[in-house]
Amino acid sequence: MTSQQNCPAEDIHHSERRKARPTRRAILAGALALTLSAGGATAWALDRFVVQHVEIADVSAYEAAQGVSSGTTAADSTASVTETSYADDGTNIRISTVTTGSGDSTVTYYVADVVLDDATTLKSAFANDSFGENITQTTSEIAAAHNAIFAVNGDYYGFRDTGIVIRNGVVFRDEGARQGLAFYRDGTVKVYDETSATAEQLVSDGVWNTLSFGPAIVQDSRIVDGIEDVEVDTNFGNHSIQGEQPRTAVGLIGTNHLVFVVVDGRSPGYSAGVTMTGLAQIMKDLGAQTAYNLDGGGSSTMYFNGSLVNNPLGANRERGTSDILYIGE
């Protein structure tokens, strides 16, 4: 779900959001070519929003070199897996489908209730195992490459060059710009102001992963006011997207107890999508004390045991993204 602010590229033409559309990168290239003057400006824009810029080519090796370790150990038991559940040594995943409304007002969303044996069981992975801008793979491709049993799309960090990016205990970027979400090693999850924090201090305080998108939609078990008007960025093509949209969110129910929601949309008769407030209500009703909006639109994807759970844009077609949150088998 690209956030309302989501889907930077694809959602440039959000007035046509219910129509089939090409890939995000194709739209960006076309829009930039049409809206920017020829020559230097167009070349700059394509370089900024389309061309891949790899800063770290082998993230797995880079993380290993940092000497950061999780608190998890190899499982001694055999995991129990069904079409909608997974259980192994204290980590439990239960997936359910919810459909509300009727006709063109039908909304379909998918819920993953996740209890972790250890907070560091929830990991992050980047597209092509590389860190940088405009590097993309589908959620399913990234998940398969990391032997994930469960995954959702992340914050699409690679569309922007700001935001604090800490993944699996390793600092990748320290450019505070917006309201972030921090996952701590003690199993708690907190919303924080990136502009008043540093990555070094967050790691010192026990942060395992951060997300930089938003906004926070539930805090202290209450829906946050003004969430329909928040902008993640002021970049070209990455403003707030209001209205009913496909969306992804993560919430904290209790220590080491998370809930992930992916709402499909732009598919009349199957799922119209939800507003930001509608997403917040879903998370609140599921018992989330804190909930945070992730990238959405065509990016909104839930993956489980080798297959898509949801139906992106009603076409079973995933859009490339830069990162995922996942639980490995």
Q: Could you report the per-residue pLDDT of 152-184, keeping only the tens digit for each?
A: 999 999 999 999 999 999 999 999 999 999 999
∠ CA(292), CA(122), CA(124), 5° rounding?
80
pLDDT band at 190 (very low <50, low <70, confident <90, very high): very high
Calpha distance 157→310 (Å, rounded): 22
Token couple for 123: 């990991």
Residue 145 has pLDDT above 50, yes or no: yes
Task: Tell me the pTM.
Answer: 0.87
DSSP designation for 305: T
Mean pLDDT of the chain: 88
What integer pLDDT is reported at residue 163 of this predicted model? 96
Top-confidence residue, 199 or 21: 199
Residue with tokens 């707030």: 240
3-state class (DSSP) for residue 286: coil
pLDDT at 68: 86
Is pLDDT at 89 greater than 60 in this prediction? yes
Q: What is the pLDDT of residue 52?
A: 92
Residue 17 has pLDDT above 50, yes or no: no
Query: Which range has the worst mean pLDDT, 43-47, 112-116, 161-165, 183-187?
Result: 43-47
Which of 26, 48, 22, 52 has its CA nearest to residue 135? Answer: 52
Given a cut of 90, whether residue 214 has pLDDT beyond it is yes
Average pLDDT for 68-95: 86
Q: For residues 74 and 263, which has the higher predicted lDDT (pLDDT)?
A: 263
Asked if 191 and 180 touch (Cβ cutoff 8 Å), the reply is: yes
pLDDT exceeds 60 at position 77:
yes
Residue-level pLDDT at 311: 96
* 3-class SS shares of the chain: helix, strand, coil, % to 5: 25, 35, 40
Q: Is 109 left (phi over 0), alpha (psi -120 to 50) or beta?
A: beta
Q: 97 near 106, Cβ under 8 Å?
A: no
In this predicted model, which residue has the larger pLDDT, 4 or 288?
A: 288
Q: State how far the Cα of 73 lies from the Cα of 232, in Å rounded to an integer.
A: 37
Per cent of the chain over pLDDT 70 is 84
**% of the chain with per-residue pLDDT over 90:** 74
pLDDT for 240 beyond 80: no
Q: Are 118 and 70 in contact (CB under 8 A)?
A: yes
Residue 10 pLDDT > 50? no
Give the 3-state secondary structure of residue 100: strand
Category of 273 on φ-ψ map: left (φ > 0), alpha (ψ -120 to 50) or beta = left
Distance of CA 310 to the CA centre of its chain: 14
Q: Is the pLDDT of residue 8 over 50?
A: no
